Amino acid sequence: MSRKPFIAGNWKMNMTAESGAKLINELKPLVKDADCDVALCVPAILIPAMVKAAEDSNIKIGAENVHWAASGAFTGEISADMLKEYGVEYVIIGHSERRQYFGETDETVNKRLHTALNSGLKPIVCVGETLAEREAGETEKVLTRQLSEGLKGVEDIKKVVIAYEPVWAIGTGKTATNEQAQETIAFIRKKIGELFCPKCAEKVIIQYGGSMNAANCKGLMAQPDIDGGLIGGASLKLDFATIVNFDK
């Protein structure tokens, strides 16, 4: 089954309107012939300026979070309608930093996911284990729980992108080996097949999200079950273009 690769950047709490637009304008000619889908998920306050900067290019702009309510007394949150108004296409849900620092749970991931799907946004749902969980041999147990609870009630799993991000490899410079990443992502695809259907699982895009960079992207992307990357630090510089063009 052929799946179109998808490389997405996650700027986290970085960049300004000026520096972000400069980077996008420098990236546009470098990624225009990419054979994969390309997105940059940016801080909410930067979305209007980044959408404008990415005009007439193949770079789509995404958000880093979305609330499950349409509106209400949720200070600091942002709704799906607010994102859609500015042309946002993708949204990251359940990133490990949201889980670690801001109390995100499998239940709230699921609520945000359904809101995104019902609003026509394309969700990137993050799953992954901590170093302690991996060393305790609990990787598959943790992923099974996150997938079972986080994806509960989804009618068309093919509309969901999964990003496997081993928490121990995010921002640390450590990366799962090609074999570790492939083995775990193959397990995720198998589990999706069990939760939904094997044919559906073969169509789901599963990204690797643990310190993929210009130096290691080719090896990771050569693995049969790895369909792309959710890129953190390397998406803040022109290295992102090298990752997008991993097959060239």
1 pLDDT more than 70: no
95, 104, 129, 133: the active-site residue = 95
> What was the pLDDT predicted at 17?
98
CA 84 to chain centre: 18
pTM of the model: 0.96
Please name which of 198, 187, 170 lies closest in space to residue 223, comparing C-alpha atoms.
Answer: 187
Among the options 64, 97, 133, 165, which is catalytic?
165
Structural domains present in the chain:
6-244 (3.20.20.70)
Q: Which helix (H) or strand (E) holds 87?
A: none
User: How are the residues of the chain apportioned to helix, strand and coil, as percentages rounded to the nearest 5?
Assistant: 45, 15, 40
- Whether residue 4 has pLDDT greater than 90: yes
Tell me if 36 sits within 8 A of 7, measured CB to CB. Answer: yes
Lowest mean pLDDT, pick from 79-88, 97-106, 168-177, 205-214: 168-177
- Please report, rounded to a whole number, the percentage of residues in the chain having pLDDT higher than 90: 91
pLDDT tens-digit map of 162-204: 999 998 877 676 778 999 999 999 999 999 999 999 999 999 9
Angle at Cα 223 formed by Cα 39 and Cα 148, nearest 5°? 70
Element (H, E) at 190: helix 178-195
Enter the DSSP assignment of 41: E
pLDDT digits (tens, 9 = 90+) for 101-143: 999 999 999 999 999 999 999 999 999 998 889 889 999 999 9
Q: How confident is the model at residue 144 (pLDDT cuts 50, 70, 90)?
A: very high
Number of CB atoms found within 10 A of residue 84's CB:
16
Amino acid 183: pLDDT: 96
67 is catalytic: no
